[in-house]
Chain A
């Protein structure tokens, strides 16, 4: 158990809809990262939030957006869903430490876009 919780665990949406995924970080962690994992592949970095500001972004379009709240919980929002957005979305929290960067993952939200 990492102490990182994600909700919901599963979600089914149709193309064009919008979705919000939620993450509660491990106590004491000030950084949260979001990853997309397609079936059979490794996680791909979407973006990271540190002290409520975006602090790095992967190769994802602007319809992927996020928020981090003062209690360090976080949201991932995806607008105008596409079929290729179907994936496992993973949230990971960490404590910003130079040259260490160990991340603690939640169990993920499995999103299916029909």
Chain B
């Protein structure tokens, strides 16, 4: 079973629009990370937000974290066709003895030119 659930499961927008994806998780965490995956390839790390942070920015990415609601959101501003990919949140659980990450089911984003 997976720790997180992502919402929506799929999202289709026009180039230039903003894309927002949400992630909910179940246990206390050290940090939450977002990864991107292009069509069945490996995952690429995008951004990490620690449990004591509420918001973080990296280029066109903005991540928020609400530990009281056990939820996070990823905002991609001014989207481009090249942003088309699957996006996964991954939590680093607080009890983590093995450095494992627990992934959600992902949001499949399509950006139409």
Residues of A within 8 A of B (CB): 2, 4, 31, 33, 35, 41-45, 48, 50, 55-59, 88, 90, 92, 94, 96, 99-108, 110
Pair A105/B44 contact, Cβ less than 8 Å: yes
Residues of B whose CB lies within 8 Å of any CB of A are 1-2, 4, 30-31, 33, 35, 40-45, 48, 50, 88, 92, 96-106
B104 CB contacts on chain A under 8 angstroms: 42
CA distance A42 to B103 in the complex (A): 6
Pairs across A and B, CB under 8 Å, 27 listed: A2-B42, A31-B99, A35-B103, A41-B2, A42-B103, A42-B106, A44-B2, A48-B98, A48-B99, A50-B99, A56-B100, A59-B1, A90-B43, A96-B99, A99-B50, A99-B92, A100-B31, A100-B48, A101-B31, A101-B33, A101-B92, A101-B101, A102-B33, A103-B45, A103-B101, A107-B42, A108-B42
Structural contact, B41 and A107, CB atoms closer than 8 A: yes
Question: Pick the contact of B45 from A35, A50, A104 — CB < 8 Å?
Answer: A104
